[in-house]
Amino acid sequence: MIVRPPLHWLRMVFVWRGSVLRDIAPQLLLVTGFAILVTVMHGRLFEWKVPLNFVPFSLIGLTLAIFLGFRNNTSYARYWEARMLWGSVLNETRTMLRQALTLVDPPGEVPLLAGRLIAFVHALRHQLRKTEPSADLERLLSPEDRARLQTTLFKPAMLLLLAGEWVRDRRQAGQLAPTLVPAVEHPLGRLTEALGGCERIASTPIPFTYAVIIHRTIFLYSVLLPFGLIDSIGPMTPVIVAFIGYTFFALEALAAEIEEPFGTEQNDLALDTMSRMIESTLREMLGEPQRPIAMEPDIYIHT
């Protein structure tokens, strides 16, 4: 995830990282090179003058812009929902730990709950990114908890079950009044909703057909565009084609990047940093000394 302070307008023109220019450079160079070739040949294909003008491209460009707007809005909606769900994970883990610290008497077993909540956060990140959670679980959980998780496929859901068992054990031990149990259980329900929402986004991509239609249309539009411009703007045709091609290709690439917000692309969510921040705030609530949170060196930038 790219996070920057406001840049000078001139730096914004030349900024490279996070601009998706690296991703679209091959197709952009291809259509620009083809536009140069069409300009040199004055719009002729062998000996045939291609009879095109700018009118059909105006109509097609408007339709293409509508499709790109739909694609980008859909992708950003997924991205923003994912961010809201992780914000809910932060809020609800804080809420549950605060309630455990203030409502359970005595609060001696609260660090066990905190470890399970922190493990849930890291396990959720690993599940969404399809990475191995063993290192984080080993440092956060007891041998008994790790043994229960060893053969489970959905480790975040199991960790929420373990957190619920912690509440049950405190009630049975008389450390938590039965009338307070629903209040302590409420954050667990919200965490379950956040888990399900993240799993839904991760397992339900935008239908592939949308991407195919838009990509083919953009490519054909950019390839045919110089034939429609050559008679009206002449040598400026490659410049205009490169500009329009950059706009369409960049919007398509950005939509494709943020539609999967849990990945490791430059504009995806900084899950590593958010996980460490949640762990840090929960440990601080337990009274443990904390160090400044290190940002993700390859993804999260604040310069």
Mean pLDDT in each 10-residue stretch from start to end of the chain (303 residues)? 58 68 90 93 77 82 88 93 97 96 90 96 96 94 94 95 96 93 95 97 89 90 91 91 93 90 87 93 89 52 39
Q: Which position has the token pair 């790790």?
A: 146
Residue-level pLDDT at 289: 80
Q: Rounded to whole angstroms, how far apart are CA atoms 253 and 215? A: 10
> What is the distance, to the nearest Å, from the Cα of residue 141 to the centroid of all Cα atoms in its chain?
28
Rg (CA), the chain: 26
Given a contact cutoff of 8 angstroms between Cβ atoms, the answer to whether 96 and 117 are in contact is yes
Residue-level pLDDT at 296: 52
Looking at the DSSP bridge assignments, the partners of residue 301 are: 2
Q: Rounded to whole angstroms, how far apart are CA atoms 192 and 157? A: 7
Query: Which string of b and e fits 19-41 if b means at least 16 CB within 10 Å?
Result: bbeebbeebbeebbebbbebbee
Cα separations (Å) of 124 from 23, 119, 215, 293?
Answer: 29, 8, 33, 19
Residue-level pLDDT at 1: 55
Q: Rounded to whole angstroms, how far apart are CA atoms 187 and 164? A: 10
